Amino acid sequence: MFDAKYKKIIFKLSVNIFKFFLSINYFYNQKIQTVKKYKITANIKKGDDKAQFLFNHIIGYKKSQFYKNVDDAKGAPLIQQLFFLPFVKSVMLEEKCLIVERFNILEWEEVADEVCQQLESYLNNGGSIIEKIPTTVYAESTPNPSVMKFVANKSLVSKSFEFKNIDEAKTSPLAQKLFHFPFIKEIFINSNYISITKYEINSWDEVVMEIREFVRSFLEEGNTIIEESNQLKRDVKNASGLKNLNALEKQIISILKEYIQPAVASDGGNIEFDSYDSNKKSVRVILQGACSGCPSSTLTLKNGIETMLKEMMPGKIENVVALNG
């Protein structure tokens, strides 16, 4: 633990560095005019390594953004400058709050007020918090004529999610809103794209622009795609399921992830492992997104997946069957 004199030196140096970078950012943000007057208050507890800085105006998205270092904060000028303070360990940006975690070289009581003042000065002089990158979404046809793939220029989810109806979409605000379009039948969200299956009541030419613009606006506003608690439950469930698999089943999953899933993802679909019958040497899979109901899915299963698994696991695989093919 550092003595009081050394803490004071670190603090003064930190504040001067912080002011320097604030002034640089202000110089490059002279074109930005703000009519808002920001007021910030610190919420700290003695001995706690995290402090809340509460704002009287919205500064972030509805979905929290976590930054663990200055590189993570690329595109977020204010957050980057916070990392120039040597005691800042991580930053969480919320809709009207910054949660800053410190290293154990000083206490928040020593620096919180000064940080509030510098943040207020920065924002009230036109400093930017996040450099908004325009969201783009383009539509891409798939081998399945009932499915259209909508691709965004940013990551949407870390795991794939499939919704057959609005009741299944309770944990996805985006899917719930999409199901309000009467022609949407199913939704599959993966990586940076959304595959939408429609009913035959409309042609894609009639509705594709409407969906594309809706998805683009939803994403640009920073709305929640999948509730974080649901993603966490999904990750825990997947981890638990993997523990119960034998070595052969894990090898099948590994082959699917490395060779098959990237290929079908380019067509807006996904293939998930379901089970393996050791007596019949049969692999059961689940088709998702554009793969589900696709006229060419049988060909993909037999000439693609089944052939590859037989070659890579000789004597172990006889056939591959889709449960929903």
Query: In CATH, what number is assigned to the domain containing residue 192?
Result: 3.30.1370.70
Say if strands 319-322 and 282-289 run parallel, antiparallel, or are unpaired: parallel
Inter-CA distances, 89 with 10, 100, 110, Å: 15, 7, 16
CA distance linking residue 94 with residue 130, whole number of Å:
12
Q: Is residue 198 part of a domain?
A: yes
226: in domain: no
Which stretches of 36-148 are DSSP H helices? 77-82, 108-124
Domain around 301: 245-322
On whether residue 257 sits in a domain, the answer given is: yes
DSSP symbols for 251-278: HHHHHIIIIIHHHHHTTTEEEEEEEEET
Query: Cα separation of 187 and 200, whole Å?
Result: 15
Whether 131 is in a domain gets the answer no
Torsions phi, psi for 173 (to 5 deg): -55, -35
User: Based on the domain organization, do 14 and 105 belong to the same domain?
Assistant: yes
Are 78 and 174 part of one and the same domain?
no
Record the tokens describing residue 66, joined without a space. Answer: 């976590």
Total Cβ atoms within 10 A of residue 34? 14
266, 210: one domain: no
Q: How far is the C-alpha of 272 from the C-alpha of 293, rounded, in Å?
A: 15
Residue 60 lies in a domain: yes
Number of structural domains (the chain) is 3
Residue entry with tokens 């969201």: 135
- Do 60 and 106 lie in a common domain? yes
Cβ atoms 281, 186 nearer than 8 A? no
The verdict on residue 101 lying in a domain is: yes
pTM above 0.75, yes or no: no
Note whether 96 and 171 are same-domain residues.
no
End-of-domain residue from the set 124, 152, 177: 124
β-partners of residue 99 are 52, 92
**Tens-binned pLDDT, residue by residue, of the chain (325 aa):** 556 555 555 666 565 656 555 555 555 454 444 457 999 999 999 889 999 999 999 888 777 888 999 888 888 888 988 998 899 999 999 989 999 999 998 999 999 999 999 899 888 888 888 877 789 999 999 989 999 999 999 889 888 899 999 999 999 999 999 999 999 999 999 989 999 999 999 999 999 999 999 999 999 888 889 986 655 555 545 555 556 788 999 999 999 988 888 888 888 888 889 999 989 999 999 888 888 878 777 777 777 888 889 899 998 989 888 887 6
